[in-house]
A and B are shown apart, each in its own frame.
Chain A
Amino acid sequence: MTPPHAATGPEPDAQPEDTRGGGAWFARVNPAAKLIVALIAAAGLIPVIDVVTSGVVLAGGLCLLAVSGIERRLLLALAGPFVLMGCSIGLVNLVFGDEGAMAALGTALRIMAIALPGILAGATSDPTDLTDALVQRLKIPERPAVGVLAALRLVPLLAAQWRTLTLARRARGIEAGRNPFRAVTIFVGKTFALLVRSIRTGTLLAMAMDARAFAAGPRSHARLSRWRARDTWLIAASVVLVACAHALAIAVGTWQPLFM
């Protein structure tokens, strides 16, 4: 039903840029490229457990961190658990393992090196831009992707409904107190009520999307997910970095595959 647009019409405004990360370099990289970088780091590190390979990749990740513009608070909240996990696994390996201090350090660094690019990709990408990139650049199926994006908008609603259910239980005189059995019963009841509400909310959203012709034929894209030279360069650089990390580890003789 689209009438062809007049060639004389005004140029459409610039597409919305990534708005997160305060315009820092890594934040402006195409989300699909960020995701690929994270996958390269994981693929390169999962088969090996030595300290040099992981250390080099982690250093690369820290360089990206420097240009990610990520807020310190957010970084602490997201990366904290992984640092803690890495340290505790390293400690366990150190105390109970028979491979020595370097192997323990290697395990610890490995976890952080795998997690960091993923955290950066997630924290600096807007969900809408990420979906655009996945659909337009990585050609993932469009309708499920847009559906998931729309469902994300319901998460705050569900959180608010859960809080109301909690207050309503108290209003009816129901409180777990110190009784764990009752706590479980109350939790099950609230979960059921929330399930009913969320199904209804989801149905309403699906109806609204259907009424806007979501179920119809091919879609166009209002936002162009741009792929720039820097996106290709970043991916190439990550491949080179991972390869160098392995080469360096082999050269210094610390290279250690996972199963051997």
Chain B
Amino acid sequence: MSGPATVSRGAAGSGRHVAGEPAPASALRSQRPEPVGRSAMTGARVELSGWGWRHSGRHTWALRGVDLAIAPGERVLLLGSSGAGKSTLLHAMAGLTGDDAAITGQSEGTLLVDGAPATAARADLGFVAQDPQTQLVMARAGDDVAFGLENLAVAREEIWPRVDAALREVGFPYGRQRSTAALSGGEQQRLVLAGALAMRPRLLLLDEPTANLDPAGAQLVRAQVARLAEISEATVVLVEHRVAEVAHLVDRVVVLDPGGGVSADGSPADVFAAHGPRLAAAGVWVPGHEPAAPPGPGPGGAALIEAAGCSARAPAAPGMGATAGPMVIENADVTVRAGTATALTGPNGGGKSTLLTLLAGLSRPLHGAVRPRGSLAQAGTRPLDRWPARTLARHIGTVFQHAEDQFVTGSVRDELRFAPLRVGMGERETEEWVTRLLHQLRLTTLADVHPFTLSGGEKRRLSVATALSCGPDRAPDVLFLDEPTFGQDTRTWSELVELLDTLRAAGTAIVMATHDELLLGGFVDTALPVAHGGVGTPVPPERALDLAGRRHP
């Protein structure tokens, strides 16, 4: 079914301005710098009919039979379970798919922007993706915003006023000369947005713009997206995982089916009322249908790891004149107890991941020591960073933020066999265990593919399994996870949290760096705020939510 297009804001009666023509002279003579987003332009119209896309080298269609018309000025949220092709559709609208484009493959049907095939070369397109690190092109903030204008051959004397206006528009707190590397993730993403706005887009495509940000950074960017409605008539198409936070920013929700077309379309309230349960079951985060975390507290137990007076520096940046990195952890005292779940919270770049690698015995603290205690001390009494890797891996599991980082073999099956064989489990026993794990992880049909070719959710499930797959009776004493639920759909999320709950009930200590408020609000026993090098005193998780400036779930 496809609902009627909502009435557009931009289409109403304003003088339509076509790209390529000079703007009306009255707009140009004004002394005051124009708000960047505003111009005499309406948003772009996007029309798809029978549109489909198949990535090169794939047999199945990522999307097929998409019929969709987006009116100028509409603000549309694209939804769908993971693998439904939301990002692919956005890339296609941006003209990034095609024979000469970044993403190659085969298309069918038509996709028209303002009646012409989509192309990345168009002047009035703005595209913002997940990770600001891979979107900033230049080393200085002003130069980066100017990059798009240079590509459009805007005259030099016009570039800088537009750059300044765009920086003001997104509330960029520094000058043009500010190094882009010195910005926080939220600031970087605002800069990316400024770079898009400076081009005066009529079609603005946002692909999970807050996914890689901490709560404070995400808040900044979402506020900016909300302001777009005031400053720009652009058509906005948004893909976002955490639907609850953005539902009020859009006037239309379009749901895509994996391998299919549009399965629901309408206002947010209507779509969630009519299709909420079905979408939630398919893994979509629907407001009011979020999965519940198994409640804490865990059984608790004796201390397993004790860090005393630990400090660590950030690694030196490569290049000429590199100096030692700044201190990211200073004089931290942390105790990890059996049968508990601890969350490390705080802003990105505040030292959570560094603390995690110190506690897990993966890196050596500059000062202080991380020592095993209780039952863990039976495996070795030296500080954890001096343990042989083999011993460490048997007792302490670590799940990295990017699952790929920890894959060391060429197939899913080998990945799961790796640890059991190393701890001396028999061939037959290993085979039984791996078969069982594959079934549990819903990866049986993918047992022989390369781990790198799995989808995001599959990679996450596999990476957690590799950290614990020493065998049925040999769960690690401590499991460390870096943003384990990040970007996962509700199905993988629920499976993961259930697994963690089972481990905790059996006495495993769980330590994770996370911003996930559902975890903090339900599952986690204690939260350790980590910010600006300091590790705060443990607080109940609800307090951590307050500290992060977020609402209670």
Contacts and interface: CB of A to CB of B under 8 A. Distances in A.
B94 interface: yes
A237 interface: no
A71 B408 contact: no
Contacts of A211: 94-96, 120, 125-127, 205
A5 B161 CA distance: 10
A196 B404 contact: yes
Interface stretch (A31-39, A44-52, A201-209): A201-209
Given A171-B360, A171-B400, A212 B151 contact: yes
Nearest to B418: A172
B406 A156 contact: no
Contact of B406 (A171, A196, A203, A208): A171
Interface string B241-266: 00000000000000000000000000
A77 interface: yes
Interface stretch (A81-89, A97-105, A147-155): A147-155
A174 interface: yes
Interface stretch (A10-18, A22-30, A57-65, A247-255): A10-18
- Among A159, A170, A209, max chain B CB count under 10 A is at A170
A216 B121 contact: yes
A204 B419 contact: no
**Which one of A10, A19, A173 has the highest number of Cβ atoms from chain B below 10 Å of its Cβ?**
A173
A222 B143 contact: yes
B318 A215 contact: no
A171 B393 contact: yes
Contacts of B27: 3
Given A8-B31, A212-B195, A217 B91 contact: no
Interface in A185-238: 189, 193, 196-197, 201, 203-224
Given A168-B406, A174-B389, A213 B157 contact: no
Contacts of B362: 167, 170-171
Contact of A197 (B94, B389, B404): B404
Contacts of B158: 2-3, 5, 9
Interface stretch (B75-83, B134-142, B288-296, B331-339): B134-142
A74 B321 contact: yes
A157 interface: yes
A73 interface: yes
Contacts of A177: 388
Contacts of A2: 152-155, 158
B138 A224 contact: no
B427 interface: no
A251 B363 CA distance: 63
Interface stretch (B16-24, B271-279, B544-552): B16-24
B101 interface: yes
A191 B422 CA distance: 23
A77 B147 CA distance: 33
B159 interface: yes
Contacts of A206: 102
A119 B394 CA distance: 50
B155 A210 contact: no
A123 B319 CA distance: 11
A240 to B, nearest CB: 30
Contacts of B428: none
A173 B390 contact: yes
Interface string A137-169: 000000000100110111111011101110111
Contacts of A69: none
Interface string B26-69: 01110100000000000000000000000000000000000000
B317 A175 contact: no
Most buried by B among A4, A19, A208: A208
Contact of A204 (B121, B129, B404): B129
Interface in A77-132: 77-78, 122-123, 126-128
A169 B192 CA distance: 34
Interface in B68-125: 91, 94-96, 101-103, 120-125
Contact of A128 (B23, B139, B389): B139
Contact of A164 (B181, B402, B452): B402
A4 B156 CA distance: 11
A149 B125 CA distance: 23
Contacts of B124: 1
A48 to B, nearest CB: 30
Nearest to A19: B177
A75 B363 CA distance: 31
A146 B404 CA distance: 30
Contacts of A201: 134
B241 to A, nearest CB: 18
A6 interface: yes
A193 B157 contact: no
Contacts of A13: 160
Task: Choose among A2, A78, A219 the residue with the greatest number of B CB atoms under 10 Å from its CB.
Answer: A2
A175 B318 contact: no
B520 interface: no
B135 A208 contact: yes
A202 to B, nearest CB: 8
A170 B140 contact: no
B315 interface: yes
B405 A165 contact: yes
B96 to A, nearest CB: 5
Interface string B139-173: 11011001111111111111111010000000000
Interface string B322-348: 000000000000000000000000000
Contacts of B454: none
A223 B392 CA distance: 53
B137 A208 contact: yes
Interface string B386-412: 001110111011101010111110000
A189 B103 CA distance: 27
A149 B28 CA distance: 34
A9 B33 CA distance: 9
A209 B136 CA distance: 9
B203 to A, nearest CB: 11
B156 A213 contact: no
B96 A5 contact: no
B134 A204 contact: yes
A227 B142 CA distance: 22
Given A169-B408, A171-B406, A204-B134, A220 B155 contact: yes
A6 B161 CA distance: 12
Given A1-B124, A168-B406, A173-B422, A123 B392 contact: no
Given A1-B124, A189-B408, A207-B102, A128 B138 contact: yes
Given A172-B418, A211-B96, A222 B160 contact: yes
A64 to B, nearest CB: 18
Closest 7 CB pairs of A and B: A173-B393, A211-B127, A175-B389, A222-B146, A212-B148, A204-B134, A171-B398
Given A5-B155, A163-B315, A193-B404, 10 more contacts: A12-B157, A74-B321, A153-B181, A156-B317, A167-B400, A174-B389, A175-B388, A203-B102, A208-B129, A222-B149
7 contacts: A4-B28, A12-B161, A152-B139, A160-B315, A171-B360, A171-B392, A207-B96
